[in-house]
Structure 1
Amino acid sequence: MIDSIRRNSLKTLAVATVLACMSTAALAEGGSLAEIKARGQLTVGTEAAYEPYEFVENGVVVGYGRDVLDYMAAKLGVKLVQLNLPFQGLLPGLMSRRFDFVATSVGITEERAKRFAFSRPIGIVRSMLVVSNTSKGVNQPEDLAGKIVGTQMGSQAQPVAQEFDRQLKEKHGKGYAELKLLQAYPDVSVALSNGTLDVGVLPSNVLGVQMRRQPNAFKSVGEIGSPRLLAWVANPKDEEIRSFINTTLEEMRANGKLGELQKKWFGETLTLPTSDYLPKGAL
């Protein structure tokens, strides 16, 4: 009886060892679409705090990215599981296999592209110049000289605004009257409305949301700086998964679905590159 129990225990241990080895081998080789289909779910990591790309509404993650993910999950015939996590944990979680890929709007940078496998761009952010709809003194970027300009402190827009101020001084001998740094982008909108700012510098996605909510309150008078491309991120070992993301985005572009979603969430189609979007040395 004892020998029988021991034999069964050894068999169980052997099976567990084989499964563990198989699991380790799978991790070493990278994730695959077959594994996703076998488990019946596509698991992605997201920081749902970048409207309209991904945000929480009534306790549910929604947005442009969520609609694209729903299309991908349906294509695979699996359930979508979207984990809403702080941005700081997304890329480490990707490398530890907590999810299949990162589906949040990650800016493509040279440093990141050397460590992580970026998809083709899913979005783009431009630094837009915004004025009150009743403003008459600013019609183009050159008109910012002598004006009170504001943006969010510590944001991507701050260095862009500072650089344009420098360019104005270099070209015309006169920059902004003042650059005000506010706590949040909504504060910039309030300051434009009450006249304490002449011009606000807002990311194009933030401006799009603002204009949907207050369609007659603001107008754009141009943009400054270079556009910033946004993409999703796969584990460098998961080339099949990155390829799936890219081919599906191309499929959605070709059949018009991507443009349809962009108009839904941004009010316009986005001009996104399909090649030469990664910096030198990228994976």
Structure 2
Amino acid sequence: MRDKVQAPDGQVADAVRGNWVDRYAPAAMRPYLRLSRADRPIGTWLLLLPCWWGLALAMLHDQSASWHDLWIAVGCGIGAWLMRGAGCTWNDITDRDIDGSVERTRSRPIPSGQVSVMGALAWMCAQALVAFAILLTFAPAAIALGVLALLPVCIYPFAKRFTWWPQIFLGLAFNWGALLAWTAHTGRLELPAVILYVAGICWTLFYDTIYAHQDREDDALIGVKSTARLFADDTPRWLRRFLVGTVALMGLAVLYAALPQASVLALVLALGGPWAMGWHMMWQLRMLDIDNADRLLSLFRANRDTGMIPLVFFCAALLA
């Protein structure tokens, strides 16, 4: 492993410049918040948005809403922040030697020496326990799903060691909220939520392949696998496939969720979500340059807006 390198004031290389952690957080907490990626909020959005999709479609499905649904939305928001932090901490613990060999990740708290492995483990457990306390306020079936979600979270950091498709495991973990939030509202897991979950996995394959292209040269040197390395110059064609899969499966989930209870207007509005999301993904394809690291990071971060688009349409359908 290369010598430990720390950015000025402990900042992480790919963090948003001038983020709140580096500017306002107490100095003693900054390494732990960086470990949780609190200085890089895009991951929390990517984990949270499938939760809100699932909740919105569940309410459209049974044409009901209550104050408890507001708590589900808020609880998912807090839980997404905590579990993204716990998951990233686990990822950095397992990848500490790999991160030290990759230019973009060498400044992370563990390889740069800001946080010890034992300190990281304690921080991970603290975040997970608070998230579990929130989970206990949901329906029993949702609690069971929340516990089961730990399986893909635990496996994901190791996936790049044994498969060219680690992004599938990331998709399994990051879109679990679509299942959980639907079940928290309805009390049971149903087909529309499962289809929505698979649509989210296709979306994850799209955005994380873009993200992984930043590291493909370092990954090749150290033997780490990814879809970016697998697809190489054929990446645009594969991304188009993931785009089509995302839009088609999300549209199918909307149909199963909305029919026959929703009005025609509500159905049309809800179907507008995957349609508009697809256009935003198409824009990313037009802007793609797999050899431009700044462009890749910018497009990856743009997926917060990509995922927000169908949510706006789903909410409009609920009001129709």
- The interval holding the TM-score normalised by the smaller chain is under 0.3
Bigger fraction of residues in strand: 1
TM-score (ref. length: structure 2): 0.23
